[in-house]
Chain A
């Protein structure tokens, strides 16, 4: 019934809307036909033509009204009116292109900012993983070790738990991938056999490996390529399945390719492929599969909860296993308590700061939008009062107030849509650019942020809402318009000195802008301060060359021999002043922090440890190359080899905590977990090891010859230009071994990952602050320009009567400046309060910094000056005689 109804009526409605002229002509023709018939009837009755015609019309009972009734029957009146409003609105906006452009641009900025923030949140938090039933997928977290597990502990948790369908795990490995033509460095995930099955993914090509493929260490030489790597490095070659490539010189068979939309369980890391974790020794050069004490093998354990199992039940289950493991292996296991978190952002480790940061950004972006709406609201209110005469005329001609409001609202919504579309285009460009950006060059890290339908819908809704929001500001004005008064008195009805809605809007807007400016100042200041902070090493003029000798097949004694050759070769390069070697640079991505014990401790269980110390294995030249200052004792030298007693250089914090003082540390002993007695030979300055924001941490530096490592970071200090140096370094190292993939970069570049969070925070807050500043300028400018133009005549009279320039300025701009001052002070206070929140995200952020205070005050003053400059010029350049002649 309904459908049949629409079958007949829908074409009619569409015809009424889109073929309006045709429909109108048909109506005219139809009624004319009737009138003709009627007229000839009257003519036949003997009436003269003119009277017959008139009689026919009279019989129609009001032709125009009847036509209107027929039009009403079409039931598209609302739509037709809206179309009329839109046409009218476009005409009005076209008449003042400057106003339209400024308004749309203001909104474009605000909506764009919100769309970008929403786009990021949409991808990272709202719809994180493109996996089936992602909501039942959880990652394990531990209070320490960032949730890492040793392989035996993982295996126990996997086999003993009753909560997970299948508990998978993975680690990250950097390997040399030799396709036969080229040897490159590639990042792989070392996944447990059940990884793909636990996540519930199907291969795009070939097959995946399974738990049944694992038969002990190095038993499963299978490589699954990621779609992206297959696309970029194997040119979509479907015959790749079955091909043998070499990983760290070991033959591996490519067995499959993951689907295009699969990005693993972690959102931002895009590995080249996946290998079974049981091949760890071939990948990393060490086999830790049997080492329960070493919490390194499994980077993250994750799995799907069984149907009906709540996260709380799963946690209880895991904790009871953890408790059992701690009791059974007291020497190896401690702090085996667990929490569950969505795995996409590496649990809460990244998830919590990311969520906090996005929440702060959302708040600030919301403020921007509010400020923009206040800005446009006062502009619209000003326009509405300029158009009082037009409104009054329409009212006098019988238009209803609601119809006029609809017209004004339509204009507002038109502008907001214009701004919304512009903002969306801008945000799409920015998000697309962010998606291809690789923030940390060494790692295959991307943030896939390309906007989807959600973002478009969000921007559209925000645009419409803000259009309605600032569109209703002039409503009261229109409702109160008395057509008689306005038409009689003209538009020059100047209100009293009362505080108007416009004033409040302007103060509010400026306050918001001042908050934003304060926030960005705090962030930028924090950033510059942390740049000056002492790192414990000097990254300037240093190149880093890093590789893992396992990738070229070195092991055993070949490793230190090769490392020595590398150091000697690099030291011989002209311009190189010193070369050091470490297994891990400070602020690197993979810091180790084993427990240390007092010398007299015999029960070496973790609970009895004195603490954890960052551990580095270094060559004798390391401190000189890195620029780390030795405070007491001696550095490491070439005699500290396997035959010499174990020694170590510790940092200040270590000396203070373990030995009481720096001089007291030299020559004294401590113990490592395996019971080795180590003598502290020297003390170096403190530094930053894990992150730039950390409190002082303990650190110890062991001689490379006593604890060898195949992971090699050459620290090359030179006085040559970096790019030139990089080329020579590459050539030198290639001459030593062509099959060894080496990454070469400056130390500052390497630290990009450490700086990443602080930079993102500073840049985004800085951009928002800039937007706030732009909005403040346009808001004050609008207000000042309007108040000058409103009072041109008054100012002209003042000048004619001999007022001084300062008095004219005072009259024209005094109010705007006063409002600016009130708003700025309000915003500054609010900004100070909110800066506490920023301190959580931005390093060294403190609002009670005279530089920040002064900076904000200065910035707001400059903005005010900038915004009132043109209106002031206009007021001063008035020529009273022309002005007064005009009216």
Chain B
């Protein structure tokens, strides 16, 4: 399974889950939202987005539904499932722990 090399392992999953926790979106909208929320710092290539989404779907964390999009075309909308919400909590907690630990390490070096 391929993961974006420019993101910390597992971070993309967390980002996607978080974005979908706010509202159901289709693929294109997710890619736009990613760009906006991360302030273009986190570069997610268009190509790696869809395998990641499909993987989350197959894990049962997000569900998909075909609906008309804003320009009245058929688009696949993803939304968070109950399992996904739980997964988001777990991954968010993991991330906080990890980043806290790294921050501390980084500060140690500075001191």
Listed in ascending order, the chain A residues whose CB lies under 8 Å from chain B are 4-9, 12-13, 26, 29-31, 33-34, 37-38, 59-63, 65-66, 69-70, 72-75
Contact = CB atoms under 8 A, between A and B. Distances in A.
A26 B66 contact: yes
Contact of A70 (B28, B46, B50, B69): B50
A34 B31 contact: yes
Contacts of B1: 69, 72-73
B2 interface: yes
A65 B54 CA distance: 14
Contacts of B48: 61, 66
A4 B83 contact: yes
Given A33-B76, A70-B54, 11 more contacts: A5-B83, A6-B60, A9-B58, A12-B58, A33-B75, A63-B47, A66-B48, A66-B50, A69-B2, A70-B51, A75-B58
B33 interface: no
17 contacts: A4-B83, A5-B59, A7-B60, A8-B60, A9-B60, A30-B76, A33-B26, A33-B28, A33-B75, A33-B76, A59-B45, A61-B45, A61-B47, A69-B1, A69-B50, A73-B57, A75-B58
Contacts of B26: 33
Nearest to B29: A37
Interface in B16-62: 26-28, 31, 45-48, 50-51, 54-55, 57-60
Contacts of B63: 8
B97 interface: no
Given A4-B82, A61-B47, A73 B54 contact: yes
Interface of B: 1-2, 26-28, 31, 45-48, 50-51, 54-55, 57-60, 63, 66, 69, 73-76, 81-83
A13 B58 CA distance: 8
A61 B48 CA distance: 8
A128 B86 CA distance: 55
B28 A34 contact: yes
A243 to B, nearest CB: 67
Nearest to B76: A30
B76 A73 contact: no
Contact of B60 (A4, A69, A72, A74): A4
Nearest to B62: A8
A7 to B, nearest CB: 8
Contacts of B54: 69-70, 73-74
Given A59-B45, A61-B47, A62-B47, A37 B55 contact: no
B60 A5 contact: yes
B59 A9 contact: yes
A63 B50 CA distance: 11
- In order of increasing CB-CB distance, the 3 nearest A-B pairs are A61-B47, A8-B60, A69-B51
Nearest to B4: A61
Main secondary structure of the interface of A (DSSP, over half): helix
A34 B27 contact: yes
B74 A38 contact: no
B27 A33 contact: yes
Contacts of A12: 57-58, 60
A33 B69 CA distance: 10
Contacts of A13: 58
A5 B86 CA distance: 12
Nearest to B48: A61
B27 A66 contact: no
B77 to A, nearest CB: 11
Nearest to A74: B58
Contacts of B82: 4
A8 B81 CA distance: 9
A33 B57 CA distance: 19
Contacts of B66: 26
Nearest to B47: A61
Contacts of B45: 59-61
A850 B2 CA distance: 76
A520 B27 CA distance: 74
Contacts of B27: 30, 33-34
B83 A26 contact: no
Nearest to B82: A4
B36 to A, nearest CB: 14
Nearest to A61: B47
Given A9-B59, A69-B1, A74-B58, A34 B46 contact: yes
A8 B82 CA distance: 10
B11 to A, nearest CB: 18
Nearest to A67: B50
Contacts of A65: 47
A11 to B, nearest CB: 10
A7 B81 CA distance: 11
Contacts of B69: 33
A59 B58 contact: no
B50 A34 contact: yes
B93 to A, nearest CB: 17
Contacts of A38: 28, 46
B79 to A, nearest CB: 12
B19 to A, nearest CB: 16
A26 B77 CA distance: 12
Contacts of A9: 58-60
Contacts of A26: 66, 76
B75 A73 contact: no
Contacts of B47: 59-63, 65-66
A617 to B, nearest CB: 86
Contact of A73 (B58, B60, B74): B58
Contacts of B57: 12, 73
B53 to A, nearest CB: 8
A37 B60 contact: no
Contacts of B58: 9, 12-13, 73-75
A446 B51 CA distance: 65
A73 B27 CA distance: 16
Contacts of A70: 50-51, 54
Nearest to A10: B60
Contacts of B46: 34, 38, 59-61
Nearest to B32: A37
Nearest to B69: A33
A29 B54 CA distance: 14
B83 A31 contact: no
Contacts of A33: 26-28, 69, 73-76
Contacts of A8: 60, 63, 81, 83
A31 B66 CA distance: 13
A72 B52 CA distance: 11
Nearest to B63: A8
B83 A37 contact: no
Contacts of A7: 60
A4 B73 CA distance: 32
Contacts of A62: 47
A400 B39 CA distance: 45
A9 B27 CA distance: 20
